[in-house]
Amino acid sequence: MQAGTGSYSGSVLKILGRIWSLLFLIVLIIVFSSRGVNLFTLKNLQNIMLASIMIMLVGIGETFVIISGGIDISPMYVVGLSGVFGAILLRDLHAAGYAAGLVVVIGFAATLVISLLPGLVNGLLITKLKVPPFIVTIGTMSIAEGAVLMLTRGQHISGLPSLAGTCGNSFLATYVSEKGFSFFSQPALEGGRAIGIIPVPVLILALVATAMALLLGRTIFGRHVYAIGGNVSAARLSGIPVDRVLVKVYIIAGLMYGFAGMLYVMRFCSASPTAGEPLLMSSIGAVCIGGTSLAGGVGKVGGTVIGALIIAVLQTGLVLMGVSPFWQYIATGSVIIMAVFFDQFKSRFLKE
């Protein structure tokens, strides 16, 4: 009987260990609701999602890296560099008189392409020269910082075609009273009240996150990433092309930073050299809160999404309560520390 009870308790603890971040998100929402903060209005839900988008994208890139046993500091300026590069193309091609649609496609494509280069450099230096990921990515971060500051002189890039901002601030579906639904547009009010349902950036995030979750969780490449993070020596002995996989991991991470830079340009119709500065700690925090182990070999994209939502809900709820921004940093940091502590607890007491 005692053995059965112990086995049952162990199973419960393992289940709680897997879903604790989701439970914490639910508890967080209940706590804010009890304090009179209504997070379930359409506007607040949209604000939470929009506030978490860039954290999620950078966090997804970090998820691949951390599961593989590495760490990436470079998004602090790779996000800004990719966004600035694309924005400069948008501005100059628009000023030259090219069609707005073509300009937007070229600018956004350039944003993603330029983000691949730091990831490629990181992967090659780590695998070929055997430099620790922390050191390599600090170097890449510094190079990206210097490059973006030279390009911008520390200033925002503006003068972009209005279509770029329209793409980032329109909705998948908009409802206008007495007229019904309109898709991928913002129809004129014309006497009715327009209600945006799903922002386009959220749709882009959903597509990207789903693709990355499937790549990590349902492909041979994903299994190789987990194997390398769990035990790189055993992965080599089993025939996994470790160097090739790691290079791909850092390229994928760079692509995610590029998406973050692109969505920044889309939402604000401008680019900032420092767009990625506040994202590094928040994204790594989202990864840890979502259950990815800093030791490597464990984690999921879905967990990172939940971790980013926790951070966004926490920050939005505190703002609606009128709490000082300084306390928001303290609260977020405390949650991250708690997540790391829980990760260590799981590693010691909840082993499979």
Instruction: Give the whole-angstrom CA distance, residue 315 versus residue 332.
Output: 8
For 227-272, how does the pLDDT look when each residue is reduced to its tens digit (9 = 90+)? 999 999 999 999 999 999 999 999 999 999 999 999 999 999 999 9
Nearest to 242 by CA among 222, 219, 225, 218: 225
pLDDT band (50, 70, 90) for residue 180: low
Domain residue ranges in the chain: 20-345
Residue-wise over 312-328: b if at least 16 C-beta within 10 A, else e?
bbbbbbbebeeeeeeeb
Contact 291, 342 (CB under 8 A): no
Task: Examine the pLDDT at 189 and tell me if it is beyond 50.
Answer: no
pLDDT band (50, 70, 90) for residue 334: confident
For 135-162, how does the pLDDT look when each residue is reduced to its tens digit (9 = 90+)? 999 999 999 999 999 999 889 998 899 8
For 311-327, how does the pLDDT look when each residue is reduced to its tens digit (9 = 90+)? 999 888 888 888 887 88
pLDDT at 302: 93
For 190-207, how does the pLDDT look when each residue is reduced to its tens digit (9 = 90+)? 445 667 778 889 999 999
pLDDT band (50, 70, 90) for residue 185: low
Which whole number is the average pLDDT over 72-88?
Answer: 94
Percent of the chain residues topping a pLDDT of 70: 87
Nearest to 268 by CA among 129, 119, 162: 162
Which whole number is the average pLDDT over 48-63?
Answer: 94
pLDDT at 218: 93
| Beta-ladder partners of 175 | 181, 195
pLDDT at 67: 97
Instruction: Give the whole-angstrom CA distance, residue 56 versus residue 136.
Output: 23
Contact 300, 291 (CB under 8 A): yes
Rg (CA), the chain: 22
The residue among 256 and 350 whose pLDDT is bigger is: 256
Which whole number is the average pLDDT over 287-310?
Answer: 90
pLDDT band (50, 70, 90) for residue 36: confident
Please, what is the Cα angle at 71 between 65 and 74, to 5 degrees?
100
Task: Examine the pLDDT at 294 and tell me if it is beyond 90.
Answer: no
Q: CATH assignment of 20-345, given 1.10.8, 3.40.1130, 1.10.10, 1.10.3470?
A: 1.10.3470
- pTM for the predicted model, two decimal places: 0.89
pLDDT at 145: 93
The residue among 89 and 20 whose pLDDT is bigger is: 89
Instruction: Give the whole-angstrom CA distance, residue 173 versus residue 12.
Output: 42
Task: Examine the pLDDT at 184 and tell me if it is beyond 70.
Answer: no
